[in-house]
Chain A
Amino acid sequence: MEHEEAAHEGPLAQFTIKRLIDLPDIFGIDADFTNSALFMLISVVAITWFLMAATRGGNLVPGRLQSLAEASYGLIASALRDNVGPEGKKYFPFIFSLFMFILFANFIGLIPVPGSFTVTSHIIVTFALAFFIFIAVTIIGLWRHKLHFFSLFLPAGVPIYLAPLLVPIEIIGYLTRPISLSVRLAANMLAGHTMLEVFAGFIIALGIFGFAPFIFVVAIYGLEVIVAFLQAYVFAVLTCLYLSDAINLHKH
């Protein structure tokens, strides 16, 4: 608790986890309702509201909200079609939920209100998502191709005497996926929000000359909006690619 007090000031204070509601531990696991959980809940509620409101009309010529929903649907549907092929269609609900959750968590974290929190800036959140994808994709691959799945680790046309060197490299490359996937998203969010807060601190400190960092913060904020979208999209596309590897092996 005193740790939270100590980190009250400074650009990293925005990332502290605060307990909001004390709940009993579940099997010895701390299950308190934190601000992170609150913002996940807000994201999910916002997504549900957005999609319900957007599709309620069901107009042939979409309004603003409906065309936003259709654009996000089309984005993920085409990413899945281009990367996985027709086989990928049944994984659409998962990829779309993933994309929307990350997108909304990123955007909601950018809203500058006191106590604002970016769920995806914590590596444990993104790693949980990435690790789940990793396990799921491996199981899908094993289930579809049985032992043939392991041919993923030996590129076709490689001379057999290179296999002892290449197979470990490919396996390490495969194991790297959840790490790079989660680090990329969390580090982007962490860096962007820290930079925003650092330069926002300069505005007050510089007094009359504060307009210079202020302009900079506005520009960075615009960049962060792009990054928030781009990272959610990249996460979804890479998930599609991993899925494609598991489904199509290298025949692509």
Chain B
Amino acid sequence: MTDDEPSQPPDKPPRDLGDFGDRLRRAQGEREQSQGPASGVNSRGMGMAFRMATELVAALLVGGGIGWFLDRWLETRPWLLLVFLALGMAAGTLNAFREAKRMEGSGDG
């Protein structure tokens, strides 16, 4: 390396670092656009469906369980079981609905 050659001064960023920022921003913008609902539909959709299903089943189980124990305790079989199964169904639907609304809002699966 000769002296008259303009070597890079250590305290200034190299010239192409300036437009690196621009390129990075452009690439990030493109990536955000391409990450629409079209990408990864398969596994994401499956995950969503699975979450809905667990939500519904779990609420039904909890409702049924509460009803069953209350029935055994108060000896009102089978009425409280039926009531709480219905409430569990409603709770599951509500939970699934909330989750769906949240997923729609944030977009993450």
Contacts and interface: CB of A to CB of B under 8 A. Distances in A.
Interface of A: 82, 168-170, 172-173, 175-176, 179-180, 183-184, 187-188, 223, 226-227, 230, 234, 237, 241
Contact of A170 (B50, B57, B84, B91): B91
B43 A176 contact: no
A241 B50 CA distance: 18
Interface in B50-65: 50-51, 54-55, 57-59, 61-63
Given A169-B87, A173-B94, A179 B58 contact: yes
Interface of B: 43, 47, 50-51, 54-55, 57-59, 61-63, 66, 84, 87-88, 90-92, 94-95, 102, 106, 108-109
Contacts of B62: 172, 175-176, 179
A166 to B, nearest CB: 9
Contacts of B63: 172
Contact of A176 (B51, B91, B102): B91
A172 B66 contact: yes
Given A169-B90, A176-B95, A183 B54 contact: yes
Q: Which of B50, B62, B92 has the largest number of chain A CB atoms within 10 A?
A: B62
Say what secondary structure dominates the interface of chain B: helix
Contacts of A183: 54, 57-58
A226 B54 CA distance: 19
A21 B63 CA distance: 40
A35 B95 CA distance: 36
5 contacts: A82-B106, A170-B91, A172-B59, A176-B91, A230-B109
Contacts of B95: 173, 176, 180
Given A168-B87, A173-B94, A230-B109, A184 B50 contact: yes
Contacts of B54: 180, 183-184, 187
Contacts of A176: 55, 58-59, 62, 88, 91-92, 95
B94 A169 contact: yes
A82 B102 CA distance: 12
A173, A226, A237: which has the most chain B beta carbons within 10 Å? A173
Nearest to A155: B94
A237 B106 CA distance: 12
Contacts of B92: 173, 176
A237 B51 CA distance: 13
Contacts of B43: 223, 226-227, 230
B57 A173 contact: no
A176 B91 CA distance: 9
A176 B88 CA distance: 9
B88 A172 contact: yes
B59 to A, nearest CB: 4
Contact of A172 (B87, B102, B106, B109): B87
A173 B47 CA distance: 20
